[in-house]
Each structure stands twice: as structure tokens, then as C-alpha cells.
Structure 1
Amino acid sequence: VIGIMGIEMAGGVYCPLSPRDPQHRLYALTQQTQSRLVLLHHLTKVKFYLNIVVLDIDSILNISNMDNKVNNNCFSSVKVKGKEIAYIIFTSGSTGTPKAVQVRHKNFIDCIHSFIYINLFNKNDTVIQIARCSFDIHVQEILGTLLAGGTLVMLHQGGNIDFDYLAKVFENKQITYITAVPSILHIFFTSIQQNKNMKAVKYLRSLCGGGE
């Protein structure tokens, strides 16, 4: 989340890469986007070739001598235009070579505004982050929630398919909004119904399903 926000606030273009992908695919995607920098952490260091410039986010977050003159009310003075690219998402490549889809700031903001307008989610919602980073819906879950002023809940690794854990998160964090593909929604709601645990979703007020 910090990485995504930092890239956007600096006026950069965000392009997620999945650590599940093989090394040769990751290399090909960085070459296709002509990425100047890959942001990673201790679990993903080994996924990239030595000739790619990388930055370990863990080392940044551990810096203790940060400038105390930073104005926390104005993190960035960078101005971006609606026509500029906000992020790039690659297609699955099921029909051949993965294709880079460029999403502009205006497109993304208009999309989020439309969701807020129809009250799909709003500043009072608590949103759970389900999608993998290789699917563009994760940008809506993360940045869309924060732009709307809502509360974002992140899962531990593999938590989106651990349905007992997911049910506990729903109840304990009082989740009010979720967006996911139909297969995940079907399995999750079947699971809580079979376990007679419908109270897990008693706070849920809005649901969005799509994809596949």
C-alpha cells in the first residue's frame, strides 16, 4: 500500500508484478514497460535479475534519521494531469503475449466517483482487500477505498482462500463491502452457510461480483 501510494504521489506509473510469476516473465514485463525501478521486499528479492535496478522498501521503512522537517499535511507537491498514465496492468497472456493496458488518472478517478455516486462504497465502509495484484481490481480496493475515505483491511498471505480465517476477519473487522469474482464469493458464502456462521457477514451492506 505504501509503495503504491508513494509511486502515485511522486507522479510515477504503477505497474504491479506478481511474485507468483516465473522469473523470465517478470523480466519480460519489466523490459516491455521500460521500468526504471522495481520496488521489492525481502521475500521478492530473488525474483529479479541482477541487471535490473531494484529498491528494497524494507530498507526505506527502517530508516531512523528521517527529515523531521517533512510536512505531513502535504506529502507531495507533484501535480499530475488526468491524461497521464496512473498505472499499467498486464493481461493474462492466455491468447499469446501479455498486453500492457494503460489506465489514465482521469479514467480511474471517474470510475471511483461513479462507484461512490451509486453508493457501492463510501467513507463509512470497511473494505477487505481480496484481489491479487495481477488483477486490476486490487487498485480499486486499495486506492479507491482510501480516496473515498473508507477503512482498508489487508489479509495475510493466502488469506483470500482461507475461508475460516476470512470469516473471522469479516466479523472481527466488521467488513461492510467486498468485491470479488463469483467463484470466490460462491465458495465463501457456501462455507459460512455450511458452518452456520452467517453472523460473520452481519455487517456486510454492499457486494460487487464480476470477472471470470
Structure 2
Amino acid sequence: RLAHHLIGLGVKPDQPVAICVERSPAMVVGLLAILKAGGAYLPLDPAYPSERLRQVLDDAAPRLLLCDAAGRAALGAEALADLSVVDLDAATPAWADQSADDPDPHALGLTSRHLAYVIYTSGSTGTPKGVMVEHASVLNFLYAFSDIARISERDVLLAITTISFDIAGMELYLPLGAGGTVVLANRKDAPDAVALQQLLVHHKISMMQATPATWRMLLDAGWQGTPDVSVLCGGEALPANLASRLNRGARSLRNLYGPTETTIWSSSFPIETSIGELHHNVPIGRPIANTRVYLLDGHGAPVPFGAVGELYIGGAGVARGYLNRP
């Protein structure tokens, strides 16, 4: 219904549509509606500093914003003045009478080469850049990863990542695409070891993705692991000693690697119990389906086995490029 409403407001393929809402079912509805309407979602986390949010709005220049009270407060009246705003927490939504059928992507002219989202990098190497990712890249990742993770309709995934990071896409679309369940941790629970443990137990979580820092926080707070949980680890180097601690209490453990520019995760390494004897840091593994990874020297030639080189990633996951930049 919301997707039909957005189409009525003029949303077109490749058009960025901003969304700034608290973590809630409405957030997921908003993301899916933007995708179904043919737009590319531009995620803004209301927990981020207002200056950062306005910087993204200025650069991407969306015409439309989906928001709630938290989003309005984070952005401020000045930023909202230049946008058409759709209130997701309206008591009587304007789209209540719209069709409950999915919009026809062919009628919209939507193809796999159109954008699914524009996500901004952290800016650690300068000004944040908007990475433009197409539907085909996201679908390739989801199909490849559903095979790797062996996810099914029986799985329950605990989603803890802000939608301003692309890995939130895995947490939401991987279980939903398999008919599984998503449990959304709220903003306060995500960094709280006790709250996360309660969510893991209460909802019988079978899969969770987090950084090594978050997994260490859980273990240090006394979490013993859960035999039914598949542990997915990424975002920073995974020390072997942490991997062996995690492995003792999990159904399976996997290390993941990939930059935003190559769509969520590009490589994967399944971790066996003997990992601590082999490596100081756990390897990033092998590329996922339809992906290639090369280690090249300064001249673009492959380095010898065991030598240091620069990582080049090619294949279906490579993003279209940076918004408004070379």
C-alpha cells in the first residue's frame, strides 16, 4: 500500500528516496515500499549527528523523505523544509485505501540494473561518498549467501545493525527472502550485552551477524553461546582466540569480508575448531558466487603466493559507482 502511495507521489527508478526512522516494523515496511515503488532508498539513522545527516541530504538531494517523530527531531525543521515528507507514524495514513497487491515492476520500467539503495561510506578516507548499488548486485549476494548460510523458513535472525550500514541488508532481506523471521533489536539494546543475551534466549535466535567487538562484549558479559546459533562475524579482523571462544558455543561460525562498494559481503570463511592452531587472525576466505578476488602488486600483476598485495574485487557485486563523483 505504501509503495503504491509512493508511486503516486512520483517515485521513479533510480530516484533516491530518503528514510529516517527509529528501528521498528515501520522501518522495514518503508525500505520494502521504496524498493517496490522502484526507488533507491537512502538510509539515514536518527541516532547519527544532525550535521552528518544534513551532509548526506545535501549531497544526494532526494525529493522525498519517509520519516517518523525521531527522524523529524534528528533532521530539524530547516532540512525538512526542502523535502516532501511522508509520515510513517501518521494515525490515519494516506495510503490506507491503496491496493494491497504488489506494484508490477514491468509497468514501472524497473529492471535489475536500476538502483536498490545509495549508502554513504563512513568518510574515514575523506568526505563520505554515496555508493550506488543495483538490484542485481543485491540479489546475487542474497542468492549466494542463502546457499552459504543454509538459511530456511525455520530460522530466526536477530538484526542489530543500523540501516546506514549495508550489512543491515543481509539481516533484513536474507531471512525475509527465505520465509524466515527477523527480530529487530532496538537502538538501546544493540550495544547492551545483557539485553542482547535476553533477546537471543527469548526469541530462540538461530542466526546473528555482528562485529568481533560485539561478540567479545557478549562473551565477556558471561554469554556461554547457544548450540543452535549460527554466528556470522565481519566488519573488522577476527582474532583466532576470539574465534575459538565463539566456536565452542555455536552451531556454526563464519568470518565475512567485503566493502560497501562490492555489496555487503564478498568473501566467506567457515571456521573449524582447529582454527586457533593455524592462524593469528582468521582468513577472509574465498569469494562468494559470481565474485572474483585478486591480490595484485603496484603494476596490476598477481603477487607471488604468500606475498603482500592490494585486494581487487570483481564480479556481480561491484557497485555502479559513487553518486555525483568519478
Q: Please, what TM-score do these two structures have when normalized by structure 2?
A: 0.58
Deviation at 1:36, TM superposition (A): 1.2
For 1:208, the equivalent position in structure 2 comes to 232
Unaligned runs of 5+ in 2: 1-27, 237-326
Distance in structure 2 (CA, Å) of the matches to 1:164 and 1:188: 8
For 1:162, the equivalent position in structure 2 comes to 192
Q: Percent identity?
A: 29
**Would you say the 8 A contact 2:146–2:174 is kept in 1?**
no
Q: How does 1:71-90 map to 2 (within 5 A)?
A: 72=100, 74-79=101-106, 80-90=110-120
For 1:106, the equivalent position in structure 2 comes to 136
**Would you say the 8 A contact 1:167–1:192 is kept in 2?**
no
Amino acid at match of 1:38: L
Closer, same or farther in 2 for the Cα pair 1:133/1:34, shift >3 Å? Answer: same
Amino acid at match of 1:208: L
Closer, same or farther in 2 for the Cα pair 1:44/1:66, shift >3 Å? Answer: closer
Distance in structure 2 (CA, Å) of the matches to 1:65 and 1:15: 21
Tell me if 1:52 matches 2:77. no
Which deviates more from structure 2 when the two are superposed, residues 170-179 or residues 29-38?
29-38
Amino acid at match of 1:28: Q
Tell me if 1:149 matches 2:173. no
Render the CA deviation track for 1:169-207: whole Å, top value 9, x for unaligned: 1111100001111110111122234xxxx3x72431x11
Q: Which has the higher helix share?
A: 1
Distance in structure 2 (CA, Å) of the matches to 1:151 and 1:187: 25
For 2:42, the equivalent position in structure 1 comes to 15
Deviation at 1:39, TM superposition (A): 1.0
For 1:128, the equivalent position in structure 2 comes to 158
Closer, same or farther in 2 for the Cα pair 1:188/1:34, shift >3 Å? Answer: same
Aligned-partner SS, 2:51 = helix
- Cα RMSD, aligned residues only: 2.0
Distance in structure 2 (CA, Å) of the matches to 1:41 and 1:51: 17
Aligned-partner SS, 1:208 = strand
Distance in structure 2 (CA, Å) of the matches to 1:168 and 1:62: 34
Deviation at 1:65, TM superposition (A): 8.5
Tell me if 1:3 matches 2:30. yes
Distance in structure 2 (CA, Å) of the matches to 1:33 and 1:64: 26
Amino acid at match of 2:152: N
Aligned-partner SS, 2:41 = coil
Tell me if 1:95 matches 2:125. yes
Distance in structure 1 (CA, Å) of the matches to 2:95 and 2:178: 32
Q: Which has the higher strand share?
A: 2
Q: Please, what TM-score do these two structures have when normalized by structure 1?
A: 0.87
Distance in structure 2 (CA, Å) of the matches to 1:140 and 1:116: 10
Unaligned runs of 5+ in 1: none
Deviation at 1:120, TM superposition (A): 4.4
Tell me if 1:184 matches 2:208. no
Answer with 1 or 2: which has the greater Rg: 2
Deviation at 1:27, TM superposition (A): 2.0
Structure 1 segments (4+ residues) deviating >3 Å: 61-65
